[in-house]
Structure 1
Amino acid sequence: MKNMNKCSLKSLVFFVSGNRVANRAALTDMATGMVSLATVGVISVILGIFSQNGRLVKIWSYLWPLQKPEPSVLDSFDIRNSSYQFNYDHAHSVRQENMHKYDFKYIPRGVDRRSNLSLQEFIEVYDSKWPVLITDVVPTWKASNWTPEFFLQHYKDDRVTMKAVHGKMDSGKGLALPLFLFLQNIHKSDEMMWTYLEDELFLHTRPELRKDIGDCKYLNEDFFSLFPPSVIPWNAMMLWGTAHSRSSLHIDPYNWTGTNAVLSGTKKWKLFPPGQDHLLYVVHDRRCGFPLDCFKYNSEVDTFAVDEERYPLFKQARYIEFEQKAGELLIIPTGWFHQAYNSEVTLAVSSQVMNSQNYLVVLEEIIKAGNIKRSSLPLHFATLSPKGQVKTVASLLSPDILEKGQKLTEKILKEVQGNVERS
């Protein structure tokens, strides 16, 4: 090591006499040093000082990696010291760079329909970067065969939660009624009167239905499973809407990566790239109502019937509009506001993902809502693997929070079910 340092220092200093380099030995030493450094994977010229006409000239240092590392969406960040904000510009830059690796003809400002998509390409081009429609997953699920007749035969008296709208969307009322009443009126709707079944727990509490929702390799990395059962977000939300029914414009709880699988019918979507909150009239300081508390990010704007006088800035917002057909799975990245519109009677299932591409975003939401204190994270937190960081946060949840989560689920189930028991 001592000899190599001596050689490197010698090779960094050149004596210039006229227009020739006088010290040929220094050139030899420099070449030797460069080869030595190349064996450890990098050539580094730290600083050269030339003496010319009595002046010193500084040469900037540079690095030449022999193999360029893969860019990561999540930069190294210590969430213990400050709040985390996802770098969407960086994510888009990573996507653009990775698109050159593949032969697929991407839609630059639209949503690609993909089949036979490799997991590697999904991670590099879409996950936490850009929405995508997967066309060859949902048709393999048993749930794709669900029909109104099937539910009437087996679950007609089971209560479900729904939203009934007469007039503008903000006039909607929440109801819990037997499923057969919803299905009896499922074809009665117009632009100003519609009903949307939105039930977080119907499938969650019926494992025989939940298993009909098959596997998806793009969603298998699930860090939510590392949390105690009482606070794991309810997965597999049942969505069954009449024609003209729609969701609010929102970002999903915890700012997770969202999914929506259409089993039958058709949805229209408007998705808003990040960074436009100031144009969307987001309502702040609302809570999500999940077992593990979080903030709720909803907009007052109905993008399918915009009140331009009330929301004049909205017309400046950029969005992607497209249609999702039966058998297609939509994956929505973290940070994208979105609204769905059911063009016809449509049955779908939504779910969520927390993985190595978005885990810091979700952890920040958990901390922000007051579930744990940032200062309670251990000093070595940033050195842990993504999974290790999630496990650490989960382990810091107090018994009171875990008990509260369990009681909240039981309370909601009791309110929905009333005195009706499924035979």
Structure 2
Amino acid sequence: MGTFQNIEKKESISYQDFIEQHLKKRIPLVFKNATGAWKSNTMFTPEFFKENFGSYQTSHGDRTYTMSEIIDLTAKSTAENPAPYPILFEIPEQIPELLKLLEPLHMNYAQPNWFRSGVIPYGKFGNNIHLFIGGKGNQYSLHKDFYHTNAWITQLYGQKKFILFPDGQDEYLYAGKEGMSRYLSPVNVVSPDLQKYPLYKNASPLEVVLQPGETIFVPNGIWHTTVASEQNISLIFDQLNGQNYPAWKKDLFEIKLQESKIKAALHYAFALSAGALCKAKALTGAKF
């Protein structure tokens, strides 16, 4: 396996430089201080979430947990006995009050974002804003995000390691050939089974440890996973704009094609109309 290379961290970068050097070229970046744009300077500690949202509930598997229960579970999580993961909240639907503390959500970089246009329903086709809570020993599966959305992840509390694989490595990661399997890899990057997945030795990963207050930009179509060494809380949302719209539109068709040609055609028609509406709104000077 190739040597892990570090993902660049920047104290500051202009919006235009970010667009030219990272968004258009699909190169990951960690913003050290982008959250300074938020109007609130709240300290997003476990105690803050227990005090303000302790009774709020969400489901994982066949169980329902309160925020307080999740905080306690992840605090006790170990590598040998990890807490259930991922336990997440849909922020606009389950903790809408939190959004007021995260304005502007785009941090003056994740824009335009057609998911904020009102054209694409929340919870559909990659339009999500999540709060992830995890603990030591939690590891996410190696994957590419459905619909080729750009992912923006901010560490609100604790630290988390991110491991990314740039383009051209599907073969080394044993991605599936059709349907949803194209977005999933069976390889465990922490302890890869090279007898079962020998080509993984040719992979060239990038890695970075995201600290509290830092934000990582994961470009669309990039393989990635996370590994937690301690209790942590993350804010995650996706971005769609003219740069990744063609791939999003294609994904919308191909994913639904696994169900039926009619569904695929209907979703492709929706993608065309949604794209046209978002482009029209942009021409009027709308900000989203």
Task: Give the TM-score normalised by structure 1.
Answer: 0.56
1:319 paired with 2:205, answer yes
Which residue number corresponds to residue 149 of structure 1? 47
Q: Which amino acid aligns with 1:148?
A: P
1:222: how far off? Answer: 1.1
Give 1 or 2: higher strand fraction: 1
> Counterpart in 2 of 1:113?
9
Q: Between 346-355 and 198-207, report the one with greater CA deviation.
A: 198-207
Q: Counterpart of 2:121?
A: 229
1:134 to 16, 31, 43: 31
Conserved? CA contact 2:74–2:133, under 8 Å: no
Larger radius of gyration between Structure 1 and Structure 2: 1
Q: CA deviation at 1:245?
A: 1.0
- Closer/same/farther in 2, CA of residues 296 and 200 from structure 1, 3 Å limit: farther
- Quick one: distance in 2 between partners of 1:257 and 1:267? 19
Deviation at 1:391, TM superposition (A): 6.4
Q: Which secondary structure state, in structure 2, belongs to the residue aligned with residue 274 of structure 1?
A: coil
2:162 aligns with 269
Pairing 1:267-346 to 2, within 5 Å after superposition:
267-283=160-176, 287=180, 297-346=183-232
TM-score (norm 2): 0.79
Secondary structure of the residue that 1:351 maps to in structure 2? strand
Give the CA deviation at 1:309.
Answer: 2.5
The 1:344/1:361 distance shift into structure 2, 3 A limit, reads: same
The higher-RCO structure (CA 8 Å, 6+ apart) is: 2
Contact 2:126 2:147 in 1 (8 A): no
Shift of 1:135: 1.2
Residues 209-256 of structure 1, C-alpha deviations (whole Å, 9 max, x = no match): 122123211112012335343546442211111112121111112111
SS in 2 for 1:282: coil
Contact 2:29-2:218 within 8 A present in 1 as well: yes
Q: What is aligned with 2:285? A: none
Instruction: Determine the C-alpha separation between the residues in 2 that align with 1:189 and 1:270.
Output: 21
Task: Please show how residues 1-12 of structure 1 align to structure 2 within 5 Å.
Answer: none
Match of 2:95 in 1: 206
Match of 2:207, SS state, is: strand
**Take 2:242 and 2:12, find their aligned partners in 1: how far apart are those partners?**
22
Counterpart among 243, 261, 265 of residue 373 in structure 1:
265
Q: Find the partner of 2:243 among 329, 332, 357.
A: 357
CA apart distance, 1:207? 1.9
Aligned twin of 1:11: none
Shift of 1:151: 2.2
Q: Displacement of 1:271 after TM fit?
A: 0.5
Taking the aligned partners of 1:375 and 1:245, their CA distance within structure 2 comes to 35
* Structure 2 match to 1:247: 140
Q: In 2, are the aligned partners of 1:261 and 1:349 still within 8 Å (CA)?
A: yes
Relative distance call for 1:210 and 1:263 in structure 2 (3 A) is same
> Equivalents in 1 of 2:194, 2:80: separation in Å?
18
Q: Secondary structure at the match of 1:269?
A: strand
Shift of 1:205: 3.1
Structure 2 residue 81 is the aligned partner of structure 1 residue 193: yes
CA-CA distance at 1:200 after TM superposition? 4.7
Q: Secondary structure at the match of 1:369?
A: helix
How many pairs are equivalent? 261
Q: 1:277 to 1:390 in 2, by over 3 A?
A: farther
Letter in 2 for 1:138: T
**Separation of aligned partners in 1, 2:267 and 2:192:** 43
Give, in whole Å, the separation in 2 of the partners of 1:202 and 1:388: 28
